[in-house]
Structures are given as structure tokens and as C-alpha cells.
Amino acid sequence: MDFRKHLIYEEESVREALSKLNALAADAILFVIDHNGRLIGSLTDGDIRRGFLKGLSFDSSLLQFIQPNPTLIKKNAYSFQDIEGYRRRNLKIIPIVDEENIIVDILNVRTKISLLPLDAVVMAGGRGERLMPLTENCPKPLLKVGEKPIIEHNIDRLINYGIDNIIITIRYLGHQIKAFLGNGEAKDINIQYVEEEVPLGTFGALSLVEEFRTEHILLMNSDILTNIDFADFYKSFLESGADLIVASLSYQVKIPYAVLEISNGEILSLAEKPTYNYYSNGGIYLFKRSLLNYLEKGASIDATDFMQLLIDNKAKVVHYPILGYWLDIGRHEDLEKAQKDIKHITL
């Protein structure tokens, strides 16, 4: 929704305000601004009703009806805890302002799940060789699942969590991805691209990114389909005190026979048909920006080696089990499954 529908200039009339509030229906709140776009106050139907009860009229100035100190969010100067606090207070629509108090966006918790203070990097440079010939002339991230390309499902989910600065790493047929997504303006976000001349691995490509705005960075593969709760993922990261958290998938291995624990030929214990639980990498990471200091510009390093490097240097690396939907679209059968699943899941 265009946030400008919630704006009204200070000199506009009470009748115009009521008309705009009526058009906003369930989202009926206006933010009164001056001609520079600076926030002056908020205005609801209730504010106008209370003004009339005090003796104000349709000819009165809007400034006589407004709440002068509405709750607001300072762009690039808020925390996850701030947003969670607003949700607990049942605040539905909050203006986002820049350093000059000019409204630049609005958080509507009915249409956005959260407003995570994260830059996101989406890895989209692979060849998708196992999906040939589909990827012969089309990069894997642009293969459609349902009505949208795989990468667009992921971009839209990031947007739903308020992440509006996204960096996409590209290589194979990357020009097609750039042509499709552009600079993000169509989705009211900012998209930048990093082009790999040679494959640098999941974390190696990050060394080419010129600048990050946020203290924490979200990194994910573009060829996975998931409804992971990014807000809970981020909350778990903060609460764990970790340097890096990786989303994980649980796998069970059931052994149909008794398993013996043996040392020097002696049986120490016996487990009858045990089940072992293992976790695998889900291709989604959250980490402190300071970890970029471990990277050498232009040097290749994949996720496994990078995490091992952190562990060797006594950094704290933890995992977050994905309890919802997750699918790595790497093979033809995966793509076929995704086409069926998309009819029954909400991303």
C-alpha cells in the first residue's frame, strides 16, 4: 500500500481528512505533515469526534484536532526490541521518519510482519546444472514456482519482514536477474548487485560488497523455497549471543538393528534399533557484520569452511531449526514438488 495515502497537509480541511480516513477503512489513521513532509501529528476519526465535542467545527484548523506527539520509528535507528514493543502495545500503523523528521515510509503490522534492522544478501550466481536444460537459457533463480520466480518468492518474504536493502550476488546469466528485478523501485526497496567474475563461494562473495548499513546481516541462497519466520530467527540470534546462526533441517536416521558400542573389542553398551537425529545446513545465515573481517577480498570461501574458521577462532556458532516449510530446488524432482506444494503453503 502506498504510504502517501496516510498523509495529509496541515492546511487541508476537516472534510478532506474525514474523506481520506473513510477511504483508508481498517487502516484509518492520517499523519499531518508540513510542506516539507515533516511530521506534525496524527489524526484519527476519534480525534475529530473529540474535537467536535469540545466545540471545534468543520472550519477549524486540523492542527486543533491532532495528537502532536505520535509514536514514530527513526529510519536506521531502531531495534528489533523497539518493534516488538510496539506490537505488544497493539500499535497498528507507525510512521517511519528520517533524521529531519520527514516521513519516508509507514509500518503497517497488518501488511508487514516486522521491521527487521537487517541488510540481506541473496546468492544467485549458480549455474543450476542439475536443472538443465531448463537453466540453459534461464538462471535457476528465475525459474517459476507457481506464478513467480523462485527468487521473487524470497525477495517478497524479506520485504514482508521489513527488510528493504537487498544485495544480490550474480554471475551465470546475471543480466537476466538484473533486468527482472531492476533496482527494486517497483517494490519500494533498494536492490544492489555484486557480480562474481569467478565463483567465490557463499561467504567469499560477501567480500565484494562495498558497504553494509546494519550491524547484523542476513544471507540466504536464492534457490530455496521456505516460510521461515525471519523475526523469530533474528530473535533467536540475539538471545543466543551468537556471532553466527545458521538455519538447520532435522533428519532422523533409524537403524533397524541393535547397535553396539565397542572399545578394544569389548562391548561397552548396546542400543536396540536406535534413532539418531542429525541437522543439515538450510542455506540461511544471520551474523555480525564484524565477521566480514575474516574475509579476504576476492578470495573464495564456502559456508562450511567459513563456519569452521569461526569455530577455530572461538567464535560462537549456533543453529536454528526450521520447523516450517523448506525445500532446496536443485533437481527436476525438487522443482516438480515445489509446483505442487506452492498450491498448499503460504510463503
pLDDT tens series, the chain, 347 aa = 578 999 999 999 999 999 999 999 889 999 999 999 999 999 999 999 999 999 999 999 999 999 999 999 998 888 888 888 888 888 889 999 999 999 999 998 888 889 999 999 999 998 889 999 999 999 999 999 999 999 999 999 999 999 999 999 999 999 999 999 999 999 989 999 999 989 899 999 999 998 999 999 999 999 999 999 999 999 999 999 999 999 999 888 888 888 888 988 888 888 888 888 888 999 999 999 999 999 999 999 999 999 999 999 999 999 999 999 999 999 999 999 999 999 998 88
Beta bridge partners of 99: none
pLDDT at 296 (0 to 100): 92
Q: Cβ-count burial of 107 within 10 angstroms (0-12 exposed, 13-18 middle, 19+ buried)?
A: buried
Q: Where are the alpha helices (DSSP H) in 67-125?
A: 80-88
User: Is residue 177 within 8 Å of residue 151, measured between CB atoms?
Assistant: yes
Cα 260 to Cα 268: distance, rounded to the nearest angstrom: 8
What residue ranges of the chain are covered by domains with CATH 3.10.580.10? 3-108
Grid coordinates in use for 37?
513532509
Residue entry with cell 573481517 = 293
pLDDT at 6 (0 to 100): 94
Residue entry with cell 531448463 = 134
What residue ranges of the chain are covered by domains with CATH 3.90.550.10? 118-341
Cα 314 to Cα 244: distance, rounded to the nearest angstrom: 12
Nearest to 224 by CA among 123, 296, 139: 123
User: Is residue 281 within 8 Å of residue 262, measured between CB atoms?
Assistant: no
Give the max Cα distance, the chain: 96
Q: Whole-model pTM?
A: 0.86
DSSP of 295-311:
PPTT----HHHHHHHHH
Q: Cβ-count burial of 149 within 10 angstroms (0-12 exposed, 13-18 middle, 19+ buried)?
A: buried
pLDDT at 1 (0 to 100): 58
pLDDT at 88 (0 to 100): 87
Grid coordinates in use for 138?
534461464
User: Is residue 161 within 8 Å of residue 114, measured between CB atoms?
Assistant: yes
Beta bridge partners of 165: 190
Domain 3-108, CATH among 3.10.20.30, 3.10.580.10, 3.90.870.30, 3.40.50.300: 3.10.580.10
pLDDT at 290 (0 to 100): 96
Domain 118-341, CATH among 3.40.30.10, 3.90.1300.10, 3.90.550.10, 3.20.20.70: 3.90.550.10
Q: Where are the alpha helices (DSSP H) in 56-101?
A: 80-88
Grid coordinates in use for 297?
577480498
